[in-house]
Amino acid sequence: MSPAAPLGGAGRDTGRELNFTASSAALRPDSVIATACQFCNSNCRLHVGLRAGRIISVQGEPADPVQAGNICVKARMMPELVYNPLRLTTPLRRVGGAKGAADSRFEPVSWDEALDIVATRLLALRDNGEARAIANRTTGRLPRGVGSLVARLFALLGSPNNTDVGPVCNDAGGDALRATFGLGAFTNGYGTDPATRREDLGSATYLLFLGTNQAETHPVTFDYLLRSRAKTRAKLVVVDPRKTPTGAEADEWIAPKPHTDFALVLGMLYHVIDSGLYDRDFVRRWVLGFDQLREHLVEHGYTPEWAARMADVPAAVIRRVAEEYARAERAAIFCNAGISHQLGAFDTYRTLAFLAAVTGNVGKPGGGCNFMHNTWPGDLALPPLAPRTPPRDQALPVGPDYFAESILSGRPYRIKALLTQGNPLISSANSAKVKDAFSLLEFYVYTGLYMEEAAYYADIILPVCSGLEMDGVYMRRDDRAIRWQEQVVPRVGQSRPDWEIWIDLAHALARNDERKPASYWAAAFPPAWRDYRTLWAQFVAHTPGMGGMTAERLAERAEPLRWPCPDAKHPGVSTLYLDHPSWYAATKSLGAEGKRFLTPSGKVELFTADLDRRLAGAGHRALPSYFTHPEVTGDNPTIAYGDEFVTNPINPQATTHPVQLGVPRPGDDPHREFPLMGMTGRPSVAHFATITHWTPTGKQLTGIRLVQIHPDTAARYGIADLDPIVVESPRGSIAGTASLWADIRRDTIFVPNTFGPMQQLGDQFGDPRYAPANTLVDDRYYDNLSGQQAYKCFACRVRKS
C-alpha cells in the first residue's frame, strides 16, 4: 500500500509508490518468508523481506484474488511488535508493591521456577477441594488450538471455568446460527468457490450491513466486496448510529438509536411476510416454524410503524429496505460487534437469521448470514484423555466479565486463581469494579507482550511471542478460512508461544503433583506437541471436517483454505448449506450424512418445541420478543434479572441468571442526569484491540481519544472541536477530546475504546494516559445466553474539562 493511499484499503489509490529498492544492495531482501498478519480477520498473507536477518519489507499476496496484493496500515506495524524496547523478555515474579500499583516490583525468574510457582498454587486449590476456584480467560490473539490445550489441562484439574474471548468479542452470532442452521459459523465465503467455480460473496446483488464498520475492521476483505460491487452494481446499505468509513461507501446510511437494531429487523421481517415477499418454495421445503413466526409477529404487532417508534427510523425506510432485500437476487447480511455488543445480541442475530431464511438467502452463493468473528477453528480436537478426570461443578455464568463479580461477592462461589491471555482491565465492562476485584484476587498469572494494565496486578508474568516469531496458524478469516505462516525472526528474549506455555505448565504440574502420578499430566501433553506442526497434525486427525487441512497443504497455498475440508482432495466449503455434492461430502465428515442443515430436523429451525422449552428456562423463547437496554432513551420494553442461577440453555456447561423480558425500565430514568447515549468502538483502522497502542505507528496515528459528537449537541454544551472534554456515566468518568462529526445522531456520542493508562508509547507525542472507555459501561446488563456485554449503549453526559 502506498503511503498516499487511504488507510482503510487499497485498490482506489491514484498515486504511485516510488520504489528504488530493487537494485539497492542495502534494501534488497536476501530472503522472503511467507507469513500472515495477526491484526484482524481479513487474515492477509504477508511476504516479509529480510536483509541480514532484519525485517526490511512487508508486502501482500498478489496471487490471492481476494487479497489482490493489498495490505492495510496494520500489516507494516507487525515488525513494531518485534522491534520494541518495551517487550517482556523473561518471566517475572512479584516481589513488592500493592497489586495494581504503578510501583509494583517484579524480579526475573527462570521459566521452570515461574511455572513451578503456578503449578503449586493451582494444585493447592485442587487439593483443598477448590478446583472450581481456578479460572482462565483466553483471548483472540491466541494461535489456533491453544484453547483446546487449556481445556485439556482444566479437565485434568477438575475446573469448569475455562472461558474464551467470545463474550467480549462475538459469540452471540455463532450461538444464534447454531440454533437456527446447525453450525455456528459465517455462512458464505470470499472469492470463488472452488467446488462450483462460482463467485460467492462477490456475486451478491444486495449488501445489508448492520453494526459493522468493515472499512476499518476488515479493510482488505471489504475492499474485495467493493471491487466486486463495481461489477455487480450491488446496493450497499449500512445501518449504524454514526456514519463510518464503511457508511461513506454505502448507497444508503440508516441511523437507528443505539441498541434498537432488533426492533428494526423485526419490522423488516413483519413486512416481508405480511407482503408475501418470502420464498414460498424454500420455506415449504426447508423451514420449520414459519407459521408460528408469522403468528408471533402479528400477535406482538411488530409492524414497520412499531419499529419506527422504537428505532427512530421512518417506517417507509424500513418497508423499502425490507422489500429491496427480499426482492434481491442474492442478498447478503453482514454484522459485527455493533450487534454482538448489545443486550439482546442472541435474539437479534436469530431474527436476522430468520430474515435470511424466509427469503431463501441461505445456502446460496452471494447470500447468507455473515456474522463476524465466529471463532473457528476454536474447538480443535485432540486424542481423548486416557485417565478418568475429576467431576466438575457447573461453570460461572458465561462471560469472563463475571469473574469480577465472583471475586467480589463470592456468588455462586469465589474465583481465587486466574490466568489470562488478554487485558481484562481494558476489555471488561465497568472497569473500576474489575480493578477492585483484581486487587483482591489471591493469585493471578498474566501472559502477554508488554506490561499492560493487567500485568500490574499479577503475581507471575509470562512473556509471549508475537506473530512473526512462530510457525503455525494464528488468525483466521471470518469465512472459516485459515493459512499457514512461517516463523520470520527468532523469538525475542525468552518469550514463548502460548501453546508451549500450556504444555510446559502441564509438565510443571507433573513435577509438583503429590496426588497424581507424573504420567497423569505428561502423557496428556507429549513434549513433541511443542512443535506446532506436530500439534497441528493432531488437530487435523481428530477434528471433524478437517482431514484435508494439513500444514503441508496450507503452506503451499497463496489462498487460505476453508473449513469444512474433510480430505486432501476436497476443495473446502465456501457456501454452507449449498445443495451440492461438495457440501454433502462435508456433512458426512461432520456426522450428519445426507443432511442439508445440521439441526436435529435437517431443516432451518425457527421454532421447535424443544428449543422453546430450553430457552424458556432462562427467560427467552424460540421466537424472540423485543426488549432493549434500560439506558436507551424513550419508553422501551427492557429486562430484569433474577438473583438465582440456572443452567444456560445455549452453553449448558455454565450457569446464567434467568431474565424477565419486556418489563418497564427499573428505577428512575437515568437520562434525567445523563441525557445522551454513548457507544464504544475501535478508534480507527490503525488499531486492533490494545496491542497496537504499543506500536509507535498506532500511537502516532490515533493516540488521542477523539470522542465523536454532533456539532449541535456540542454547541448545546459549549464544546468546540478538539476541546478537552469529560464523559460521565453513572459508573464513572473518562477524559477525551471532542471531535465534532455531523454524521452521528444528535442523541449519541462515540467513545473510542482500547485506550489504557499504562500505554507509555503515547508519552513521546504528549498523549494523555487515558482511563478505559469501559469505565462507563454497566456490567450488570449482559446477554444471559451468549454472555455478550452491552458495550453499545450507556447513559452519559459530556462537559468541557
Q: Which of 192, 219, 222, 196 is nearest to 207 (CA)?
A: 222
The rounded distance, in Å, linking the Cα atoms of 144 and 796 is 38
The predicted pLDDT at position 169 comes to 83
> Cell 541480514 maps to which residue?
52
Q: Which three cell numbers stand for residue 368?
A: 447468507
Report the alpha-carbon distance of residue 337 to residue 320 in Å, rounded. Answer: 25
Grid cell for residue 546:
478437517
pLDDT at 74 over 90: yes
Whether 7 has a pLDDT exceeding 50, the answer reads: no
* Average pLDDT of the residues in 341-356: 97
d(CA 65, CA 635): 49
pLDDT beyond 70 at 2: no
Least confident piece of the model among 58-62, 115-119, 400-404, 522-526: 400-404
Is the predicted pLDDT of residue 668 greater than 90, yes or no?
no
| Structural contact between residues 33 and 39, judged by C-beta atoms closer than 8 angstroms | no
Question: Among 467, 465, 497, 537, which residue's Cα sits nearest to residue 35?
Answer: 467
Looking at the DSSP bridge assignments, the partners of residue 647 are 655
How would you class 681 by CB atoms within 10 Å of its CB: exposed for 0-12, middle for 13-18, buried for 19 or more?
A: buried
Helices (H), 529-687: 532-542, 551-555, 581-589, 609-616
Q: d(Cα 173, Cα 153) in Å, to the nearest integer? A: 28
Write down the pLDDT at residue 12: 52
Specify the amino acid at residue 288: L
Whether pLDDT at 515 is above 80: yes
Q: Which of 723, 731, 712 is nearest to 800 (CA)?
A: 723
Q: Please name the helix (run of DSSP H) or strand (run of DSSP E) that holds residue 107, with its range, or none.
A: strand 105-108
pLDDT for 374 = 60
The three-class DSSP label of residue 432 is helix
**CB 737 within 8 Å of CB 667:** no
H or E segment at 727?
strand 724-729
Q: How high is the pLDDT of residue 416?
A: 98
Return the number of other C-beta atoms located less than 10 Å from residue 239's C-beta.
25
Residue 445 forms beta bridges with which residues? 419, 460
What are 251's three cell numbers? 448507497
Please check the confidence at residue 421 and state whether its pLDDT lies above 50.
yes
ω before 630 within 30° of 0 (cis)? Answer: no
Joined together, the cell numbers standing for residue 603 give: 431443516
Residue 771, Ramachandran bin (φ over 0: left; ψ between -120 and 50: alpha; else beta)? beta
Whether the pLDDT of residue 8 is over 90: the answer is no
pLDDT > 90: what percent of the chain?
93
Tell whether the model's pLDDT for residue 9 goes beyond 50: no
Statement: residue 17 has pLDDT above 80 = no
Q: Using CA atoms, how far apart are residues 181 and 789, in angstroms rounded to an integer?
A: 24
The overall average pLDDT reported for the chain is 95
pTM: 0.96
- Residue 23: how many CB atoms within 10 A of its CB? 7
Cell output for 490: 527468532
- Record the cell numbers describing residue 276, joined without a space: 408475501
735 and 768 in contact (C-beta within 8 Å)? Answer: yes
Q: What confidence category does residue 653 fall into, taking pLDDT thresholds of 50, 70 and 90?
A: very high
327, pLDDT greater than 80: yes
Residue 191 has a pLDDT of 97
A 10 A CB-CB count for 431 gives: 26
pLDDT of residue 375: 61
Residue 289 has pLDDT above 50, yes or no: yes
Which residue in 537, 538, 543 sits closest to 524, CA to CA? 538
Mean pLDDT in residue range 19-24: 83
Range 125-141 average pLDDT: 93
pLDDT 10s digits, 447-490: 999 999 999 999 999 999 999 999 999 999 999 999 999 999 99
Contacts of 641 (CB under 8 A, 6+ apart): 657, 658, 659, 780, 784
Q: Which residues contact 362 (CB under 8 A, 6 or more apart)?
A: 181, 187, 353, 356, 368, 369, 577, 604
Residue holding cell 471470518?
Answer: 478
Q: What is the DSSP string of 225-286?
A: HHHHHHHH--EEEEE-SB--HHHHT-SEEE-PPTT-HHHHHHHHHHHHHHTT-S-HHHHHHH
pLDDT at 46 over 60: yes
- Segment 187-202, tens digit of pLDDT: 999 999 999 999 999 9
pLDDT in tens, 223-265: 999 999 999 999 999 999 999 999 999 999 999 999 999 999 9
pLDDT at 16 over 80: no
| pLDDT value for 252 | 98
pLDDT, tens digit, 9 for 90 and up, residues 594-607: 999 999 999 999 99
Q: Which of 57-71, 373-387, 538-552 has the lowest mean pLDDT?
A: 373-387
